[in-house]
Amino acid sequence: MSVKLRGKKWQAYITTKDGERFRKSFSTVEEATLWEAQVRHADKVGLPIPMQVTPEQSCNMTLGESLDNANEMYWRGGKSESAYAYLINTTRKVLGAKTNIEDITTNRIDDWIVKLKQNGIAASTINKYLNVVSVSLRLAYDQDRLSKMPKIRRQKPAEGKLRYFSSEEEQLILLTLKSWGKDYLHDAAIVACDTGMRASELLKFDTTLHTIGNRWGVYIPDRKNGKPLLLPITNRVHEILQTRQFDKHPSKDSTCRRVWARLRNQLHLDDCTWHTWRHTCASRLVQGGMDIYKVKEWLGHSDIKMTMRYAHLAPTNIVNGCDILEGVA
Q: Which of 51-55, 86-90, 244-248 has the lowest mean pLDDT?
A: 51-55
| DSSP state letters, 249-316 | -TTTSHHHHHHHHHHHHHTT-TT--TTHHHHHHHHHHHHTT--HHHHHHHHT-SSHHHHGGGGGG-SS
Quickly count: other Cβ atoms within 10 Å of residue 52's Cβ: 13
Asked if pLDDT for residue 308 goes beyond 70, the answer is yes
**Residues in contact with 189: Cβ distance below 8 Å, sequence separation at least 6, in sequence order:** 173, 174, 177, 250, 277
Query: In the prediction, which pLDDT does 178 show?
Result: 94
| DSSP state letters, 76-144 | TTSTTHHHHHHHHHHHHHHH-TTSBGGG--HHHHHHHHHHHHHTT--HHHHHHHHHHHHHHHHHHHHTT
Q: Report whether 135 contacts 154 (CB < 8 A).
A: no
Q: Report whether 124 contacts 233 (CB < 8 A).
A: no
Q: Report whether 274 contacts 251 (CB < 8 A).
A: yes
Q: Which of 53-57, 67-71, 109-113, 309-313 has the lowest mean pLDDT?
A: 53-57
The predicted-structure confidence for 100-134, as pLDDT tens digits, reads as follows: 999 999 999 999 999 999 988 888 889 999 999 99
Determine the residue type at 227.
Answer: K
Query: In the prediction, which pLDDT does 160 show?
Result: 58
pLDDT band at 50 (very low <50, low <70, confident <90, very high): low
208 vs 195, which has greater pLDDT? 195
CA nearest 3: which of 28, 27, 33?
33
Mean pLDDT of the chain, nearest integer: 85
CA distance 283 to 162: 9
Could you tell me the pTM of the whole model? 0.58
Q: What share of the chain is helix, strand, coil (3-state, %, to 5)?
A: 50, 10, 40
The predicted-structure confidence for 212-244, as pLDDT tens digits, reads as follows: 888 898 888 877 767 888 889 999 999 999 999
pLDDT band at 310 (very low <50, low <70, confident <90, very high): confident
46 vs 50, which has greater pLDDT? 46
The predicted-structure confidence for 125-181, as pLDDT tens digits, reads as follows: 899 999 999 999 999 988 878 888 999 999 987 665 688 999 999 999 999 999 999
The predicted-structure confidence for 63-103, as pLDDT tens digits, reads as follows: 999 999 999 999 988 777 888 999 999 999 999 999 999 99
CA distance 139 to 219: 37
Query: In the prediction, which pLDDT does 315 show?
Result: 67
Q: Report whether 108 contacts 116 (CB < 8 A).
A: no
Which DSSP category does 38 fall into? H
CA distance 98 to 140: 15
CA distance 131 to 139: 12
